Amino acid sequence: MPNKLILASKSPRRKELLMRIYPHHFDIIPSNIDESEIKYPSNELSAYCISYKKGEDISSKYKDAYVLCADTVVLINGEILGKPKNESEARKMLEEENENIQEVYTGFHIFLNGKAIASRNCLSKVILHNLTIEKIDEYIKTGSPFDKAGAYGIQDFQNKDYTILEGSFENIMGFPIYEIEEEFKKLNLL
């Protein structure tokens, strides 16, 4: 392989999912950009724009490497549900998500020499079911909601607790591996 691959993410889920499709060594170098300063034209494009800036940041420092970056956002009625700051926020988000359609967007980019050479904004739609106050409180006690957009990881639930209406489970996890694999094949990375 002529160029190394960098995953510009500190997410253990993204590392695990990338290992499913990419059999070679890759480095992990997360970007430390200030996401709050990034402007985007719509909430649906927020993850796409943030991901772009992360990739641009790392690719400008490692021009000889392919850089893969991704970001995920959860929307209900067009409004962003970010990562909860405390138990109260997590509870409110999970109560709002119960039996409501969520749009989960994951924007990803592949950079080389400081330029994006592949980009996608992947959409999944999902409904969480049966989130009683007791289940929500139990889930919050695990600590899992606090590093995830929308206060949950789909992998933390059993398949009877959600319905995927569109898109993939992996995209809801924050890393659309089928679309990434397609782009890797186009770029002869696989």
Q: What is the DSSP string of 79-129?
A: EEE---SSHHHHHHHHHHHBTSEEEEEEEEEEEETTEEEEEEEEEEEEEE-
137 has catalytic annotation: no
Predicted local distance difference test score (pLDDT) of residue 1: 47
Domain annotation for the chain: domains and CATH numbers? 5-186 (3.90.950.10)
Predicted local distance difference test score (pLDDT) of residue 2: 52
DSSP state of 148: S
In the chain, which residues have pLDDT < 70? 1-2
The active-site residue out of 27, 34, 57, 71 is 71
| Cβ-based neighbours of 57, under 8 Å, separated by 6 or more | 8, 31, 32, 33
Using DSSP's 3-state secondary structure scheme, residue 177 falls into helix
Tell me which amino acid residue 156 is. D
Q: Are 14 and 30 in contact (CB under 8 A)?
A: no
Report d(CA 184, CA 47) in Å as an integer.
Answer: 20
Helices (H), the chain: 12-21, 46-61, 87-97, 133-141, 169-173, 177-186
